[in-house]
Amino acid sequence: MPLFGLSHLMLFAVAAIWGFAFVAQSAGMDHLGPHSFNAARLALGALSLVPLWLLMGKRRQPGGRPLWLGGALAGSIMFGGFACQQMGLVDTTAGNAGFITGMYIVMVPLVGFVLGQRPRPHTWAGVALAVAGLYSLSIGPDFSINRGDLQVLIGALFWTAHVLVIGWLSPKVDAISLAIWQFVVASLWATAIALWLETPQLGDFGNAWLSLVYAGVASSGIAFTLQIIAQRKVEPSITALILSLEAVFAVIGGWLLLGESLGSRELTGCALMLAGMLISQWPAKTRQQALPAAG
């Protein structure tokens, strides 16, 4: 078997799509408020998965109460994650947001430890590196943290909860149906908050159409489909390892497309956080469940 096959390349493509989505999210707010942007991109995300849902046909699992209630819970948590992430992008860079969001990869084992699970030894090393990297990236000399970085970090807590809820729900319901329903629920929450706090105009959505299409269709429908296809042949632990590179692509995208730059302190923080993410998800001899990314 080759070291990297087509399925591995698909996962690298998914990581790149999700990483560059932070650029689209940041650029979209030149025209829209964070909740208005989320309302539109999440609705597009649901619509983009409908063709895949139709193609699945009779292979779909039946729905029922676990789908509707569980999807409503997952969608509500997803809304919290996207809301914090999008609001944070007002005051931080796409690169910072990508790396801090990736903290959910090391937060999940910590929550598992609280719930009585026993993380692998190198998970703790990954957590220590990630925390050191977060300090270098976001904490100032007076121990203050940028408001945007803090909001994105709170969003990572929501993504941690989302991973755990999806892990609980996924054996019980159809994956595509769950994805669509949670996008719908999250979009409804974002729409309600946008109508309350913001005053979006139809022309604003037109001006942000490219960012919305990328964030809604590419990072949801296309990337989600590629992930499903690729994970049929790639170990879940390897999948999580590749998808953690989303943070690197977020930095590259911010540098190439938004003119963002990082100093030596920020670069050190990114390197430490990436090392922590990779170590915490390094493949073990036993089969581990993959962590869905949050881009």
pTM confidence score: 0.86
- What is the 8-class DSSP label of residue 60? S
Overall domain count for the chain: 1
Encoded tokens for 42: 């999440």
- Report whether 155 contacts 88 (CB < 8 A): yes
Report whether 95 contacts 249 (CB < 8 A). Answer: no
User: Does residue 1 fall inside a structural domain?
Assistant: no
Question: What is the domain extent for residue 166?
Answer: 6-280
CB 211 within 8 A of CB 27: yes
Q: Rounded distance, CA 211 to CA 217, Å?
A: 10
Tokens of 148: 């945007």
**β-pair partners for 139:** 145
Torsion angle, alpha carbons of 26, 31, 34, 40, to 10: -100
Please report, for residues 38, 207, 263, the alpha-carbon distance to residue 193 in angstroms, rounded to integers and kept in the order given.
Answer: 10, 21, 36
> Does residue 211 form part of some domain?
yes
Residue-wise pLDDT for 1-17, tens only, equals: 455 688 888 888 998 99
For residue range 170-184, what is the model confidence (pLDDT) as tens digits?
A: 788 888 888 899 999
289 domain residue, yes or no: no
- Residue-wise burial string across 48-64, b where 16 or more C-beta atoms lie within 10 A, e elsewhere: bbeebbeeeeeeebeee
186 within domain boundaries: yes
Question: What gap in Å lies between CA 211 and CA 205, rounded to an integer?
Answer: 10
**Three-state DSSP class for residue 93:** coil
Task: Flag whether 290 is in a domain.
Answer: no
Chain-centre distance for alpha carbon 159: 7
Contact 238, 283 (CB under 8 A): yes
Residue 114 lies in a domain: yes
Distance CA 282, CA 235 (A): 11
From first to last of the 295 residues of the chain, give the pLDDT tens digit. Answer: 455 688 888 888 998 999 999 999 999 999 999 999 999 999 999 999 998 888 877 777 666 788 899 989 999 999 999 999 999 999 999 988 988 988 888 887 788 777 777 777 777 888 888 888 888 887 776 667 889 999 999 999 999 898 888 888 878 888 888 889 999 999 999 999 999 999 989 999 999 999 999 999 998 889 888 887 887 777 766 777 788 888 889 989 998 898 888 788 888 888 888 888 888 777 665 444 444 555 6
In a domain, 293, yes or no: no
Look-up of token digits 């992930």: 227
- The whole-angstrom separation of Cα 21 and Cα 295 is 7
Residue 158 domain-assigned?
yes
